[in-house]
Amino acid sequence: MAKANDRGGTLSRSALRRQREKEQRYKTVLRAAETLFARKGYHQTSIEEIADLAEVSTGAVYFYFKNKEDLLIKLMHEFGFFLREWLGKELEKNDPTLEGFSHIAESFLRDFCVSYPEKITIFFRESVGQSREVEEQRKDMFVRLTSDIRDVLVDIASRLSGRFVSDVAPEVVAVCIVGIYERLACHYVLWQDRAVDITDIVDETVSFTLGGVRSLLAPEKKKKG
């Protein structure tokens, strides 16, 4: 089906082809930047190198992106959406219980971190210490992810004892979980290049995480009679 244009009509086949080509070039440039930022580092990568890997001109890169920082911000936004989408799919596959939550935690370490090292590298390493705009993108992603996890924990608690010991407890746990798993990804995948060891720490990490969750759940009230 032909897409509608801004004037209410439909795009011709040639216009649709040009639109697809533009979208493909945009994605190609973005993937080239992702590869080089992860491999060489953000500051060590030039626009010329990105254009060369993407097999486009430097002018084409600037047509789609204002500058190198714009590329980084777009990659971070994409990563944030990708991670939250992944989390949503994992939630759909697992029951809203502590056991189901532990499966999601295991999957993040065993599958996500190992399968997407470039995305992990850019968000957890290359985006640190950059401009205010980049930091705002990082903060927004962490706030949204923390909120997602907090909502999951509240739902789990409602199916167990009914609540946490305080209103702030699920948020505190969510913040801790995001921080712990970020550090694990940095330590094993980025800093020490020991992604293979991730599978060996899953049980310990999940036990530690669930222990914290259980410790802040309010005890079940005994039924009268």
pLDDT over 50 at 29, yes or no: yes
Q: What is the pLDDT of residue 5?
A: 56
pLDDT over 70 at 4, yes or no: no
- Domain range summary for the chain, segments of one domain joined by +: 11-65, 69-215
pTM across the whole model: 0.81
The domain 11-65 is placed in CATH, from the list 2.30.40.10, 3.40.50.800, 1.10.1240.10, 1.10.10.60, at 1.10.10.60
- Pick from 208, 180, 184: nearest CA to 194: 184
Kindly report, residue by residue over 158-211, the tens digit of the pLDDT.
Answer: 887 678 999 999 999 999 999 988 888 887 777 776 666 776 788 888 889 889
Distance CA 81, CA 86 (A): 8
Q: What is the pLDDT of residue 17?
A: 82
Kindly report, residue by residue over 64-100, the tens digit of the pLDDT.
Answer: 999 999 999 999 999 989 999 998 899 888 888 888 8
* 69-215, CATH topology level: Tetracycline Repressor; domain 2 (1.10.357)
